[in-house]
């Protein structure tokens, strides 16, 4: 029985799940108020509270793993399965938008002129900014993989490569924003505009989240909280980043390259 309890870590009572659920409701009410009445106060307050709860919740998890020794190898295996299931749920999330895209691509309705993409929608040149963004993300996937290999081997000269990965992620976000500014259509321009901005927008949000994930792991690395044998957080970070890379490759082929064929 003692061996069984050493394999798992029983969580202590935490206020963060309840507080997060309440503030998510608060944020959603503020989000709706922003669309209906252009009010920002409630939404900004909800975002600030959610970020504060995230910080304190993750702080407690780090304390449980490093200082309390609660994350045994058996528990880390379960966390890996949980991360895989989370990424799978994200894949299904994007598949729902891809389904909508193929519905319009394979059977365009008369409301959009029986064409895909619809008339008066001037697409981006796939060999300009989109191709550059593709090269940025592929390069960042290569650098984060090299960082992971160096960390496993116990090498200490991975810091510059890691910072390059973060810089590439920020560069992608900047180029995506510039692309939106130069766009010749909006989200309200037919079904294609809605799908385009939903797919690229949510992917951009995932890139931003992944970049924050990388920055947090960099801070932990600089505080000597990661090692060659204990770097589960960084491993999850690299998994998430590769997921973002793969989704972008599919997006680039469908939303940009396929339109010129």
Cα–Cα dist 189/194, whole Å: 7
Cα–Cα dist 94/254, whole Å: 13
- 8 Å CB contact between 212 and 118: no
Which among 50, 43, 48, 49 is positioned nearest to 27, based on CA atoms?
A: 43
**What does each of the 261 residues of the chain score in pLDDT, given as a tens digit?**
344 445 555 666 788 889 999 999 998 999 888 888 888 888 899 889 998 998 888 888 888 777 776 677 777 788 889 899 999 999 999 999 999 888 888 877 776 667 777 777 777 888 888 999 999 999 999 999 888 888 787 776 778 888 899 999 999 999 999 988 888 888 877 788 888 899 999 999 999 999 988 998 888 888 877 777 777 888 899 999 999 999 999 999 988 888 776
- pLDDT at residue 188, as a whole number: 78
pTM of the model: 0.83
- pLDDT at residue 170, as a whole number: 94
- 8 Å CB contact between 240 and 87: yes
Structure tokens at 185: 């259509």
Q: DSSP string covering the chain, please?
A: -HHHHHHS-PPPP-SHHHHHHHHHHHHHHHHHHHHHH---HHHHHHHHHHHHHHHHHHHHHHHHHHTS----HHHHHHHHHHHHHHHHHHHHHHHHHHHHHHHHHHS--GGGTT-SSPTT-----TTSHHHHHHHHHHHHHHHHHHHHHHHHTT-STTHHHHHHHHHHHHHHHHHHHHHHHT-SS-TTSHHHHHHHHHHHHHHHHHHHHHHHHHHHHHHHHHTT---SS--HHHHHHHHHHHHHHHHHHHHIIIIIGGGG-
Q: Taking each helix axis from N to C terminus, what angle separates 190-222 and 232-251, rounded to the nearest 10 degrees?
A: 160
Which among 221, 253, 71 is positioned nearest to 144, based on CA atoms?
A: 221
Which among 159, 171, 157 is positioned nearest to 218, based on CA atoms?
A: 159
- pLDDT at residue 8, as a whole number: 56
Which among 74, 65, 29, 72 is positioned nearest to 47, based on CA atoms?
A: 29
């Amino acid at each position: 029985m003692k061996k069984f309890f050493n394999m798992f870590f029983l969580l202590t009572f935490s206020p963060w799940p309840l507080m997060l659920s309440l503030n998510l409701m608060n944020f959603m009410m503020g989000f709706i108020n922003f669309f209906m009445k252009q009010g920002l106060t409630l939404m900004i307050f909800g975002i600030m509270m959610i970020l504060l709860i995230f910080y304190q919740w993750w702080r407690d998890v780090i304390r449980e793993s490093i200082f309390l020794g609660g994350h045994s190898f058996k528990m880390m295996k379960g966390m890996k399965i949980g991360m895989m299931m989370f990424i799978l749920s994200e894949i299904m999330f994007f598949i729902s938008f891809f389904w909508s895209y193929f519905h319009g691509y394979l059977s365009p309705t008369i409301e959009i002129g029986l064409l895909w993409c619809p008339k008066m929608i001037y697409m981006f040149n796939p060999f300009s900014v989109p191709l550059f963004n593709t090269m940025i993300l592929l390069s960042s996937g290569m650098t984060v993989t090299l960082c992971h290999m160096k960390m496993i081997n116990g090498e200490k000269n991975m810091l510059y490569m890691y910072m390059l990965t973060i810089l590439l992620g920020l560069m992608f976000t900047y180029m995506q924003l510039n692309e939106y500014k130069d766009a010749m259509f909006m989200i309200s321009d037919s079904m294609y505009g809605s799908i385009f901005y939903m797919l690229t927008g949510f992917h951009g949000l995932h890139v931003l989240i992944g970049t924050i994930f990388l920055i947090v792991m960099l801070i932990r690395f600089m505080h000597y909280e990661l090692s060659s044998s204990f770097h589960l957080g960084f491993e999850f970070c690299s998994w998430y980043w590769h997921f973002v890379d793969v989704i972008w490759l599919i997006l680039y082929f469908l939303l940009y390259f396929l339109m010129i064929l």
